[in-house]
Amino acid sequence: MRSRPRFLMLSALLASSTLLSFASAQVGGLRAATLAQPALSTFKASGTVLTDASGATVTLTPKGAYLASADLRLPTADVVQAGTLLNALTGQDFAQGLSDFLKRPDVQAKLPQGLTVTADAFDLKLQQQADKALTLNISLHQLTGFRVVPSSRILGDASAPIVVRMYSDLQCPYCQKAELEAVPKVLKNLKTQKDVRFEFHQFPLESIHPNARPAAEAAACVEKQGKFWAFKDALFRRADWQSMANPGVIFQGVAMGVGVKLQQYRDCIADRGGKQSVDEGVAEANRLGVNATPSVYVNGYRVANPYDPASYQALIDFVRAK
Provide the residue-wise pLDDT of the chain in tens; the chain has 322 residues: 644 333 233 333 223 333 333 334 589 999 998 888 999 999 999 999 999 999 999 999 999 999 999 999 999 889 999 999 999 999 889 999 999 999 999 999 999 999 999 988 899 999 999 999 999 999 999 999 999 999 999 999 999 999 999 999 999 999 999 999 999 999 999 999 999 999 999 999 999 999 999 999 999 999 999 999 999 999 999 999 999 999 999 999 999 999 999 999 999 999 999 999 999 999 999 999 999 999 999 999 999 899 999 999 999 999 999 8
SS3 assignment, position 174: helix
Cβ–Cβ contacts within 10 Å for residue 224, how many?
A: 18
Residues 6 or more apart whose Cβ sits within 8 Å of residue 261: 225
Q: Following DSSP, what letter does each residue of 39-61 receive, concatenated? A: GGTTPEEETTEEE-TTS-EEEEE
Give residue 1's pLDDT.
60
SS3 assignment, position 167: strand
List the one residue out of 213, 214, 218, 226 whose CA is nearest residue 260: 226
Give residue 26's pLDDT.
86
Give residue 119's pLDDT.
86
SS3 assignment, position 169: coil
Could you give the C-alpha distances from 36 to 26, 33, 116, in angstroms and in order?
A: 10, 5, 28
β 162-168/196-202 pair status: parallel
Tell me if the pTM is above 0.75.
yes
Residues 6 or more apart whose Cβ sits within 8 Å of residue 168: 175, 178, 179, 200, 201, 202, 203, 293, 294
Between CA 92 and CA 19 the distance in angstroms is 8
